Chains A and B, each alone.
Chain A
């Protein structure tokens, strides 16, 4: 009979989620207001549930002309308040992808130094428009982010509304099935954003539950034609 060992020294791997949020000018008004209204709810749902918070780490990256980290990867149970998101300039996908790669690499090493094990990170990419930077530039940045040779490459779920282009979002999600979602044309952002944020919470909560089984999955929101994606553990 084969034998496996299960000790309490064995810490759970953490499941990092990065919310990568478009804060270009087109998000001004109801979309950004809804995001700011929903972020505290996300903190409450994820951070205040001990079973979820223990395994989930959450960070927020915003992008416009430049990308920046407004919430470093953190245990939401220990985050006292969520940052407010402000509208900025244009929509540089390249900045977002380059920044994400740097942040994931740095967070991974910081986590390992603190004794954490990591499941493959997930990026929840949300945009309401098309990229304003040259196509070859953002495609190259995207290629580097999802490069299989880079061992920390994340799984990406892409969500779009407003002027977002389905084909571009599908490219962001690596053209993999069930990873990209676009709201119906003409849908009001004030209705789409709360639904989307609720879906993200549900995705994070469901993914955290799967992490406890030892066979973690990135579970997309309950949206049409989406199914669970197996996620492997980083070495």
Chain B
């Protein structure tokens, strides 16, 4: 449709790629009945054909069964129509796409609704509660796993089974929305940059400038969510989406931003500590899960990254163990495709591409360049470290959780680092205990707090040593 046929409403959002406007309800270009539409105005126009290829639903539906199509359309803002320039119909200025459904918006304390992006889940939930008044599940909660599961199933619908391969190429915390009510679900934005069939849409011959004819240059990437194996300007493949899926698992389940890409280089191994609640100790196949995570995030073995189907099967297992099977069931129902991803024990399952979690654990042979190590602990880290005499000490006594088969003992270097961290946390707590309003003499107060703690600790140790040796020296 022509851009002059649109009647634009309120500006809803503005980002690096363009601006998103409401579209007036009576607009003749808006399909009805159907979802409420928005108009995404691109900062840089692109060849219409390139965008039009994406817009037609048959483009993603070809070769896929109805349930898989439902899964795609229920979970993504798939572009519905290209909007072209009045003077040059070969240039697309933007696209119409569905507005995110109501369940994917969060109401802040100020009463305004904002898109429920994964950014909320990739930060400290306690801070989010204080800052915005939103209540989020704690790190490691089954709800977080269920959201990653929903995303894995969407990617599986795009990239697994029959039909043309669909690669999003710019999955990030800002492009993936989430909802837990009425069921765990995700909704992916900015699908207008997707690559279908393994190659981007051919540019409209002759209409495009040189830049427009090179799709790699048009691609938006989000810092800290890009695939380090993809060269700058390169056209993303399914391996890029698989990398981000591993990253989403790490950041959403761990509720923290891990600045991973900045450290990933050839011949460098990155060791990642992932804090999790102690309820995870019940999971028997931890090594397989972490290995899957490591393979997803690998820089050197990008071609070996697990498929979304493998992730979905593994996460179904995990949800079972966490006692949240019904969450997986509800997530599937919300996507309109109730078939589970994993094979029934000993049987084949439609849509599943690979072995489940247990089998995967037996197949890895390469040395990983990313090592993910789960660290099970209570939520109040500093306090727990003080009471429990520090993780390094318990680690030295046979591992943090001796009963947990998946836990490896920390290396001496990690133990030393954690001991220092524990001691620093103890000092910080001591300093806070003597902190009074105002900033004057803060350094002196901190020094006093630290001295009190150190002297008390030294007295305690001396007392214990004295008690232990007193029988031997005749006292």
Q: Does A110 contact B (CB under 8 A)?
A: yes
Give chain A nearest CB distance to B451 CB in angstroms.
15
Residues A215 and B120 in contact, CB atoms below 8 Å apart: no
B259: chain A residues at CB < 8 Å are 6, 12, 212-214
Closest B residue to A53 by CB, please name it: B131
Binary contact readout B246-283 vs A (1 if CB under 8 angstroms, 0 otherwise): 00000000101111111100011111111100000000
**CB-based A-B contact count at 8 angstroms:** 107
Q: Does B394 contact A (CB under 8 A)?
A: no
Question: Which of A44-52, A122-130, A169-177 forms part of the interface with chain B?
Answer: A44-52
Interface size on A, residues (CB 8 A): 31
Q: Does B108 contact A (CB under 8 A)?
A: yes
Which residues 169-223 of A sit at the B interface, judged by CB distance below 8 A? 209-210, 212-215
With the chains together, A1 CA to B265 CA distance in Å? Answer: 10
With the chains together, A115 CA to B127 CA distance in Å? Answer: 16
With the chains together, A216 CA to B467 CA distance in Å? Answer: 53
Q: Does A106 contact B (CB under 8 A)?
A: yes
Residues A115 and B428 in contact, CB atoms below 8 Å apart: yes
Residues B268 and A4 in contact, CB atoms below 8 Å apart: yes
Q: Which one of A47, A78, A109, A209 has the highest number of Cβ atoms from chain B below 10 Å of its Cβ? A: A209
Q: Does A22 contact B (CB under 8 A)?
A: no
Closest B residue to A217 by CB, please name it: B223
A47: chain B residues at CB < 8 Å are 131
Q: Does B405 contact A (CB under 8 A)?
A: no
Q: Which one of A9, A47, A54, A113 has the highest number of Cβ atoms from chain B below 10 Å of its Cβ? A: A9
Q: Does B52 contact A (CB under 8 A)?
A: no
With the chains together, A215 CA to B275 CA distance in Å? Answer: 24
B418: chain A residues at CB < 8 Å are 9
Closest B residue to A51 by CB, please name it: B119
Q: A210-B223, A214-B262 are in contact. Are A9 and B269 (CB under 8 A)?
A: no
Q: Does B130 contact A (CB under 8 A)?
A: yes
Q: Does B151 contact A (CB under 8 A)?
A: no
Q: Does B144 contact A (CB under 8 A)?
A: no
Q: A51-B119, A54-B123, A77-B131 are in contact. Are A6 and B267 (CB under 8 A)?
A: no
Q: Does B174 contact A (CB under 8 A)?
A: yes
Q: Does B384 contact A (CB under 8 A)?
A: no
Q: A1-B267, A77-B131 are in contact. Are A209 and B443 (CB under 8 A)?
A: no
Q: Which one of A1, A6, A7, A50 has the highest number of Cβ atoms from chain B below 10 Å of its Cβ? A: A50
With the chains together, A7 CA to B270 CA distance in Å? Answer: 10
A109: chain B residues at CB < 8 Å are 442-443
B120: chain A residues at CB < 8 Å are 50
Give chain A nearest CB distance to B79 CB in angstroms.
25
B263: chain A residues at CB < 8 Å are 4, 6, 214
* One of A9, A53, A113 near B446 (C-beta < 8 A): A113
Which residues 1-47 of A sit at the B interface, judged by CB distance below 8 A? 1-9, 12, 47
Which residues 36-95 of A sit at the B interface, judged by CB distance below 8 A? 47-51, 53-54, 75, 77-78
Give chain A nearest CB distance to B290 CB in angstroms.
14
Q: Does B114 contact A (CB under 8 A)?
A: yes
Q: Which secondary structure dominates chain A's binding surface? A: mixed
Q: Does B421 contact A (CB under 8 A)?
A: yes
Residues B262 and A50 in contact, CB atoms below 8 Å apart: no
Residues A9 and B131 in contact, CB atoms below 8 Å apart: no
Closest A residue to B114 by CB, please name it: A48
Closest A residue to B257 by CB, please name it: A212
B443: chain A residues at CB < 8 Å are 109, 113
Residues B414 and A78 in contact, CB atoms below 8 Å apart: no
Closest B residue to A45 by CB, please name it: B14
Closest B residue to A12 by CB, please name it: B257
Q: Does B196 contact A (CB under 8 A)?
A: no
Q: A4-B270, A5-B417, A106-B439 are in contact. Are A50 and B258 (CB under 8 A)?
A: no
Q: A54-B127, A78-B131, A113-B443 are in contact. Are A6 and B271 (CB under 8 A)?
A: yes
Residues A6 and B258 in contact, CB atoms below 8 Å apart: yes
Residues B275 and A213 in contact, CB atoms below 8 Å apart: no
* One of B132, B273, B446 near A77 (C-beta < 8 A): B132
Q: A4-B269, A6-B272, A8-B273 are in contact. Are A110 and B428 (CB under 8 A)?
A: no
Q: Does B224 contact A (CB under 8 A)?
A: yes
Q: A2-B267, A5-B417, A6-B271 are in contact. Are A51 and B131 (CB under 8 A)?
A: no
Give chain B nearest CB distance to A4 CB in angstroms.
5
Residues B223 and A213 in contact, CB atoms below 8 Å apart: yes
Q: Which one of B122, B130, B259, B418 has the highest number of Cβ atoms from chain A below 10 Å of its Cβ? A: B259
Q: A50-B120, A51-B119, A77-B131 are in contact. Are A110 and B439 (CB under 8 A)?
A: yes
Q: A2-B267, A2-B268, A12-B257 are in contact. Are A50 and B131 (CB under 8 A)?
A: yes
Give chain A nearest CB distance to B393 CB in angstroms.
16
With the chains together, A214 CA to B367 CA distance in Å? Answer: 25
Q: A51-B173, A214-B259 are in contact. Are A9 and B123 (CB under 8 A)?
A: no
With the chains together, A110 CA to B446 CA distance in Å? Answer: 11
Q: Which one of B108, B131, B274 has the highest number of Cβ atoms from chain A below 10 Å of its Cβ? A: B131
A210: chain B residues at CB < 8 Å are 223
Q: Does B222 contact A (CB under 8 A)?
A: yes
Q: A49-B119, A51-B123, A213-B223 are in contact. Are A1 and B268 (CB under 8 A)?
A: yes
* One of A7, A48, A106 near B273 (C-beta < 8 A): A7
With the chains together, A109 CA to B418 CA distance in Å? Answer: 24
Closest A residue to B256 by CB, please name it: A8
Give chain A nearest CB distance to B37 CB in angstroms.
25
Pull 30 A–B residue pairs with CB atoms less than 8 Å apart, ordered by A. Answer: A3-B268, A3-B269, A3-B270, A3-B271, A4-B263, A4-B268, A4-B270, A5-B414, A6-B259, A6-B263, A6-B271, A7-B273, A8-B256, A9-B381, A9-B418, A47-B131, A50-B120, A51-B117, A51-B119, A54-B127, A77-B131, A109-B442, A110-B442, A209-B223, A212-B257, A212-B259, A213-B224, A213-B261, A214-B261, A214-B263
Q: Which 3 A-B pairs have the closest CB atoms?
A: A214-B262, A77-B131, A7-B273
List the interface of chain A (C-beta within 8 A of B): 1-9, 12, 47-51, 53-54, 75, 77-78, 106, 109-110, 113, 115, 209-210, 212-215
List the interface of chain B (C-beta within 8 A of A): 108, 110, 112, 114, 117, 119-120, 122-124, 127-128, 130-132, 173-174, 222-224, 254, 256-263, 267-275, 367, 369, 375, 381, 413-414, 417-418, 421, 428, 431, 439, 442-443, 446
